[in-house]
Amino acid sequence: MNPPVPSMASTDLAREWSIVHILSMWYRDHHRRLPWRETRDPYRIWVSETMLQQTRVETVIPYYHAFLERFPDVAALAASDEEAVLKCWQGLGYYSRARNLHRAARLVVERHGGRIPDDPRAFLALPGVGAYTAGAVMSIAFHRPIPAVDGNVLRVVARLENLCDPVDHPTVRRRIERLVEGWLQQAEPAVFTQALMELGAVVCTPRSPRCGACPVRSACRAHRAGTAEDLPKRAPKRPRRQKVVLALWCETGEGVVVEQRPADGLLGGMWQLPAHELDADALDAPSDAGRDAESGGAAEAAGPVRRALMDCLQRVFPGTACHAVRFVEVARERHVFTHLEWSVRLFRPEGMPAGARVDRTRFRVVCRDELGGLPWPRVYEKLISGALQMLI
């Protein structure tokens, strides 16, 4: 079934030939059928590659279908509101991907007449398109030999070449890109690019790689050296910073007070309840000042927690006398991000003076039925559902 290997079987040239062709044929025969592999539409491939950044295939699949149903082509995406795009992205994480993709779609309409550029430099110039995504779309959609080096390819190549340097260093990464670029010259780019990633996803996995099932193990230097399990090397990660988030459930006759986060930074553009974020060690340092009193089974805020909540409340209702309010905790969530950890506590102010006016320039008041129409981070989804369940 495989074509004959050239006679110079022990040379580097034959090894490269083997990597390119054996792997390509293996991909043709064994690849998984994934939604974005059923199309040749560059837009759809671009959307999939954007969603797949740092995100697992199984996670992406439902989002991919829903997104393309809502935004079937670049023009539809460009014509939509950013908030609608974020809503489709809700729960997927890394929300700057959604906002960049939306901006990029508008640029494609403006600059390129609505057609996705088949030129690597023009495509790379779009927001949210980095070296990987450019290589992936160029090779898969336009059959151009541009390397697409993701986490799978880093691992596969580090093992094939037995590279013991940390792969998350730019110099090592560039070295791997050069290697792949060379292999691509002898390959069908759309096939070989996906073959490398597929091998990493299915066979050459991070832990317990299935070397026995690998079509190119005879070309793998790590397998020969017995180091496959230990590769690739990565730089150690720093511990997460701990933060406390104090949020408010302010429900008036009109509805619930909500606000949109700033466009850039953490959870940019997503909605949240009025909140105050502070370093965790700022709270637990003073001995007993931050401890909360128990009253009637519900925790009531005291000390610095109460002061922070009061600041927050004054932002929502500027110029309103709130001295007498008590804050009753109605929900609590821990949420882990890549580089920080949130401990969120949601409080309901009790005893608000009648006629308190919400600052509508910073906040919006929406009725309960409309909460679901806004894009929320996962942690606020959980908090709100918890609060609604408690408050009925």
* Residue 168 Cβ vs DNA, minimum distance, rounded to whole Å: 8
Contact between 222 and 228 (Cβ < 8 Å): yes
The CB density around residue 295, as the number of other CB atoms within 10 Å, is 10
- The tokens describing 196, both together, are 């490398």
User: Which residues make beta-bridge pairs with 300?
Assistant: 293, 328
Beta carbon nearer to DNA, 59 or 260: 59
Write the single-letter amino acid at 315.
R
Map the footprint of DNA across residues 226-245, applying CB under 7 A: 234-238
Is 49 one of the annotated active-site residues of the chain?
A: yes
Closer residue to DNA in complex, CB, 102/306? 102
Cα pseudo-dihedral 88, 94, 97, 98, rounded to 10: 20
Report, in Å, the least distance between residue 11 CB and DNA: 31
Nearer to DNA, 56 or 360 (CB): 56
- Token digits of residue 234: 């990565």
Q: Give the dihedral of Cα atoms 276, 277, 279, 283; nearest 10 deg.
A: 30
Site residues for DNA, 15-34, by CB under 7 A, read: 34
d(CA 9, CA 17): 10
Binding mask 51-90 for DNA (x = CB under 7 A): -xxxxxxxx-------------------------------
Is 155 one of the binding residues for DNA (CB under 7 A)? yes
Closest CA to 246 of 312, 299, 294: 312
Shortest spacing between CB 365 and DNA, in angstroms:
23
Residue 206 binds DNA, judged by CB under 7 A: yes
**Lookup result for tokens 């491939």:** 45
Q: What angle do CA 31, 35, 38 make, to 5 degrees?
A: 75
| Annotated catalytic residue within 16, 38, 49, 177 | 49
In the bound state with DNA, the residue whose beta carbon lies nearer, of 254 and 281, is: 281
Query: Which pair of tokens denotes residue 337?
Result: 């991000």
Q: At what angle do helices 42-51 and 96-112 cross, to 10 degrees?
A: 160
What is the C-alpha separation between 56 and 310, in angstroms, rounded? 41
52/325 with CB nearer DNA: 52
Residue 30 or 307: the one with the smaller Cβ distance to DNA is 30
By three-state DSSP, how is residue 355 classified? coil
Site residues for DNA, 107-146, by CB under 7 A, read: 127-134, 136
Question: Residue from 26, 36, 71, 249 that binds DNA (CB under 7 A)?
Answer: 36
Binding mask 275-314 for DNA (x = CB under 7 A): ----------------------------------------
Inter-residue contact 345 to 243 (CB < 8 Å): no
For residues 87-106, which are near DNA according to CB under 7 A? 91-96, 100
Q: Note the residues at the interface with DNA (CB under 7 A).
A: 34, 36-37, 48-49, 52-59, 91-96, 100, 127-134, 136, 150-152, 155, 169-171, 194, 197-198, 200-201, 206-207, 234-238, 265-268, 335-339, 377-379
Catalytically active residues, by annotation? 49
